[in-house]
Amino acid sequence: MWRRGVSLSSMLSSSKSRLLNQMQVACGFNACQVFSTHVLNPIVAEDGVSGARRKPFVTFVLGSGPGSGKGTQCTRIVNTFGFTHLSVGDLLRKEIYSDSENGSMILDTIKEGKIVPSEVTVKLIKKAIEASENNRILVDGFPRSEENRIAYERVGGVEPDIVLFFDCPKEEMVKRVLNRNQGRIDDNIDTVKERLSVFEELNLPVIKYYSEKGILHKIDGTGTEDEIYERVLPIFAALR
Ligand SMILES: Nc1ncnc2c1ncn2[C@@H]1O[C@H](COP(=O)(O)OP(=O)(O)O)[C@@H](O)[C@H]1O
Ligand SMILES: Nc1ccn([C@@H]2O[C@H](COP(=O)(O)OP(=O)(O)O)[C@@H](O)[C@H]2O)c(=O)n1
Ligand SMILES: [Mg+2]
């Protein structure tokens, strides 16, 4: 079990501490908090021994439905900013073809356009994040419901630093999915309709939650892939 621990000031020489204090006065923000959360704070084990790994910068990637362009834009973010892309749909699809006891249940759930039980999904995500040595991670397609979100919180999953939300009109999403051509069992008009209604019922409260938390970045998901990526870039520019 990992948790955050060591304070920034204890890690810095006194001259650096003085500099940070001066910045705090000059900039009107708590420089220690900003830097310690995103850059410097290491993850520390329960026994107090510093782990090799810092808390990764985690971005959750959501959309207004299937075909909103999540996966496409994730590939670009990976190429520019060196993130690891964890597509939760891909993690679930891999489970279907492994020897997992949940394989047939996952297949049926995806075929119906419903949401796989959170305990299954959350375990896969947590394992994938822990296995990744990258400090920048995109979790694409999660949480799809409040139940997803709360289950992840309960197992101590690494919370997102920011959440992207690609907003696209229904007709455009349907057109894209039906042209996707990746042989997916859920890319047919009946499943897409079900997925859109699942989105409205279950996904919207999650969007609202992150919006109220002040970490949601809503992005216009219409236009060409290039045009959309131009809207994404400034969000990550500070990470370069
Ligand atoms: N801006 C865009 N304009 C037209 N087609 C797009 C655009 N972005 C993605 N696509 C295509 O639409 C389909 C769905 O995109 P994808 O990234 O898989 O969406 P999601 O992961 O949200 O379901 C893919 O075939 C992709 O190539
Ligand atoms: N958090 C998640 C993500 C995906 N899924 C399932 O996996 C399917 C495919 O998800 P995906 O993210 O690959 O789909 P797209 O939105 O990319 O088209 C969903 O329709 C759900 O059935 C889930 O149950 N829970
Ligand atoms: Mg996708």
pTM, two decimal places? 0.83
Residue 83's pLDDT is 98
Of 6-10, 110-114, 217-221, where does mean pLDDT reach its minimum? 6-10
Among 121, 120, 116, residue whose Cα is nearest residue 198: 116
Point out which residues pair with 17 in neighbouring strands. Answer: none
Sheet holding 42-45: strands in order across? 2-4, 42-45, 50-54
Pick from 176, 184, 186, 199 the residue to mutate for probing ligand 1's pocket: most ligand atoms within 8 Å of its CB.
176
Q: Is the peptide bond before 117 cis (omega within 30 degrees of 0)?
A: no
Find the radius of gyration of the CA atoms of the chain. 20
ipTM for the complex?
0.99
**144, 198, 201 from 159: Cα distances, Å:** 15, 24, 23
d(CA 29, CA 16): 16
pLDDT in tens, 38-93: 332 333 344 445 555 678 999 999 999 999 999 999 999 999 999 999 999 999 99
Q: What pLDDT, on a 0 to 100 scale, did the predictor assign at position 49? A: 52
Q: What is the 71 CA–ligand 1 centroid distance (Å)?
A: 7
Q: Say how many Å lie between the CA of residue 22 and the centre of ligand 2.
A: 47
| pLDDT value for 52 | 55
Closest CA to 87 of 54, 112, 63, 111: 63
Write the residue with the smallest CA distance to atom 20 of ligand 2: 113
pLDDT at residue 54, as a whole number: 76
Q: Atom 7 in ligand 2: which residue has the minimum CA distance?
A: 89
**Which distant-in-sequence residues (6+ apart) come within 8 Å of 54 by Cβ?**
40, 41, 42, 43, 135
What is the model's pLDDT at position 107?
97
Q: Specify the pLDDT at position 1.
A: 29
Task: Determine the atom of ligand 2 nearest the C-alpha atom of 195.
Answer: 20
Is 163 in contact with 62 (CB distance < 8 Å)? yes
Full set of structural domains in the chain with CATH: 2-54 (no CATH), 57-239 (3.40.50.300)
Pocket of ligand 1 (CB under 6 A): 63, 66-72, 176, 180, 224-225, 228
**What are phi and psi for residue 84, nearest 5 degrees?**
-95, 130
* pLDDT value at 6 more than 70: no
**Mean pLDDT, the chain, integer:** 83
Among 119, 186, 200, which residue has the most ligand 2 atoms within 8 Å of its CB, making it the best to mutate?
186
Cβ neighbour number for residue 51 with a 10 Å cutoff: 12
> Tell me, what's the pLDDT at 14?
35
Q: Which letter does DSSP use for residue 37 in this model?
A: I
